[in-house]
Amino acid sequence: MKNATIAVITGDLVNSSQFTNKRMSAIIGRLNAEFETYARYQSDKSAVFTMFRGDSFQGIVEDPGRALGLALQLKALINSFNDAETEVGNNVPLADVRISIGIGEASYDLDAINVSNGEAFQLSGRTLDGMKSKQIKMALTTAVSDVNDEFKVHMKFLDATTNRWSMASAEVVYYLLKDYKEQQIAEELNRSQAAINHRKKAAGWDEIHLLLRRYEQLTKKYFI
């Protein structure tokens, strides 16, 4: 077991009981494929995720500074989901997710998340439990009250922004969070760069990027 300050991301799919078995299976498959890419991330700090309870997931992010970006990446992945009957476009997303980030000390095993425990897990899990009644989609809770106070406001604005995403804008944000340039995204999606730029603006990317930078500043100050 390791002991360190980490970020724990806990999430669950919104209204998953309304999904067909085919759609649920496709979404879970997409999440698992994404988690595999995180496991291959080449760095000294790992990000390892696992599914549980069918429609929920949890992950350990050893570098807390990466957690918000990864959480947004997962949200964009789910919001951009399409199936055989729906083409990605300016449509309301077919699927959504609630995600809670907890940052704190923990005793953990990357190969056995289910037996890991500590402050980060408790903060993440307890916050997620209370999000449904408050109609919150993304939240951050840490052991530092100043960070919590600031990000309570930031996350409210983030929710307001991401709640307006279309499937197409979420898809573009997903690739931006993976550090793709506009032209690369255009080639990946077989769209013009002008179309990608339009979707980028519609998604509120400039504001999201500023928020991510502020998050990284605070995590470096308090948790690294």
Query: What pLDDT does residue 79 have?
Result: 97
Residue 180 in this model has a pLDDT that exceeds 60: yes
pLDDT tens by residue, 11-26: 999 999 999 999 999 9
Query: What's the whole-number average pLDDT of the chain?
Result: 93
Query: What pLDDT does residue 102 have?
Result: 98
Question: Of all residues in the chain, what percent carry a pLDDT higher than 90?
Answer: 85
Q: Which of 34-48, 63-77, 119-133 has the lowest mean pLDDT?
A: 34-48
**Confidence band for 145, pLDDT divided at 50, 70 and 90:** very high
Q: Cβ–Cβ contacts within 10 Å for residue 175, how many?
A: 21
Homologous superfamily of the 2-223 domain (CATH): Reverse transcriptase/Diguanylate cyclase domain (3.30.70.270)
Query: What pLDDT does residue 43 have?
Result: 65
**Confidence band for 91, pLDDT divided at 50, 70 and 90:** confident
Residue 42 in this model has a pLDDT that exceeds 80: no
Alpha-carbon gap, residue 202 to 198, rounded angstroms: 6
**Confidence band for 106, pLDDT divided at 50, 70 and 90:** very high
The better pLDDT of the pair 85, 155 is held by 155
Query: What pLDDT does residue 73 have?
Result: 97
Alpha-carbon gap, residue 129 to 165, rounded angstroms: 24
Break the chain into its structural domains and give their ranges: 2-223
Query: What pLDDT does residue 133 have?
Result: 87
Residue 47 in this model has a pLDDT that exceeds 70: yes
Question: Of all residues in the chain, what percent carry a pLDDT higher than 70?
Answer: 95
Query: What pLDDT does residue 87 have?
Result: 60
Mean pLDDT value across residues 36-54: 82
66 closest CA partner among 171, 165, 212, 191: 212
Query: What pLDDT does residue 85 have?
Result: 58
Mean pLDDT value across residues 54-78: 96
Residue 77 in this model has a pLDDT that exceeds 70: yes
Mean pLDDT value across residues 90-106: 93
